[in-house]
């Protein structure tokens, strides 16, 4: 997605120390001069390399340099699960029940509950629709959706395609991590609505977008990023990544896949 470029540190010319004239060997003087010439040439070559970078490449380098200093692509809050990167077989969720039959990762309970409480103070009665979801439960949701579409007259292939527009393939759902939360407001549900993109017509959704990074969350599947996430726009699906990471992702209009790719690029320099 991004080209990998880096600038080596400019070499320093090492000056030989002074010694009495009658004790300076000729070969040492020659060696010092050669070292100076080699160092000078290396510096010039590196400066030329810098001069050949395009504005886009320089901007990309600056973006890498501005990444959160302590962020690492292997951090627990940056685990990537999507349609081409399934949940690791040895993954063990660290769960706490925050509502009856609704669990999330224990490490995000505090920011999540603070966010919901702040919503109430802002006159938004939020509804926590879904958090952690086991692979087995995801498989049931997936199979039931396919069955429903087939009953409506779609072929098996069409039913699978329709299902995967909004339901992740089992073992490829972020909900398996305990770091994803589906949030709408209570009135939205009371009015007979469900988790649909047009939830973004509601003031509560706008408030969620305005405040999410304050609590370490991002909108995981933004509109227009389908080619990067392989998931259609979901106005209700938020993902915990940590406050500093979330602010960087929002500021630079990235999705999680892009952010992790940048971190990996920095780590491989």
Residues acting as catalytic residues:
234
CB atoms within 10 A of CB 256: 23
Sorted by sequence, the CB contacts under 8 Å of residue 113 that are 6+ apart come out as 98
CB atoms within 10 A of CB 3: 9
Q: Is 210 exposed, middle or buried (0-12, 13-18, 19+ CB in 10 A)?
A: exposed
Report the distance separating Cα 168 and Cα 257, nearest Å. 16
Q: How open is the CA angle 225-83-263, to the nearest 5 degrees? A: 65
Report the distance separating Cα 185 and Cα 125, nearest Å. 6
Report the distance separating Cα 146 and Cα 34, nearest Å. 74
């Amino acid at each position: 997605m991004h080209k990998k470029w880096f600038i080596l540190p400019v070499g320093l010319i090492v000056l030989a120390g002074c010694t009495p004239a009658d004790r300076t060997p000729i070969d040492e003087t020659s060696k010092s001069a050669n070292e100076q010439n080699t160092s000078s040439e290396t510096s010039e070559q590196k400066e030329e390399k810098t001069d050949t970078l395009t504005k886009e490449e320089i901007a990309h380098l600056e973006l890498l340099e501005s990444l959160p200093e302590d962020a690492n692509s292997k951090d627990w809050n940056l685990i990537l699960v999507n349609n081409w990167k399934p949940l690791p077989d040895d993954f063990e969720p660290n769960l706490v029940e925050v509502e009856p039959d609704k669990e999330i990762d224990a490490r995000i309970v505090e920011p999540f509950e603070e966010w919901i409480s702040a919503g109430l103070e802002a006159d938004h009665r939020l509804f926590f629709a879904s958090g952690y979801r086991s692979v087995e439960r995801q498989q049931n949701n997936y199979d039931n959706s396919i069955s429903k579409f087939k009953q409506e007259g779609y072929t098996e292939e069409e039913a699978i395609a329709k299902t995967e527009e909004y339901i992740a393939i089992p073992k490829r759902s972020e909900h398996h991590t305990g770091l994803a939360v589906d949030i709408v407001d209570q009135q939205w549900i009371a009015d007979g609505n469900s988790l649909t993109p047009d939830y973004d017509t509601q003031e509560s959704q706008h408030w969620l977008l305005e405040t999410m990074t304050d609590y370490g969350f991002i909108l995981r599947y933004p509109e227009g990023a389908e080619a990067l996430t392989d998931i259609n726009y979901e106005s209700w699906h938020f993902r915990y990544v940590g406050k500093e990471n979330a602010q960087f992702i929002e500021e630079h209009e990235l999705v999680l896949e892009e952010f992790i790719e940048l971190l990996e690029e920095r780590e491989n320099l």
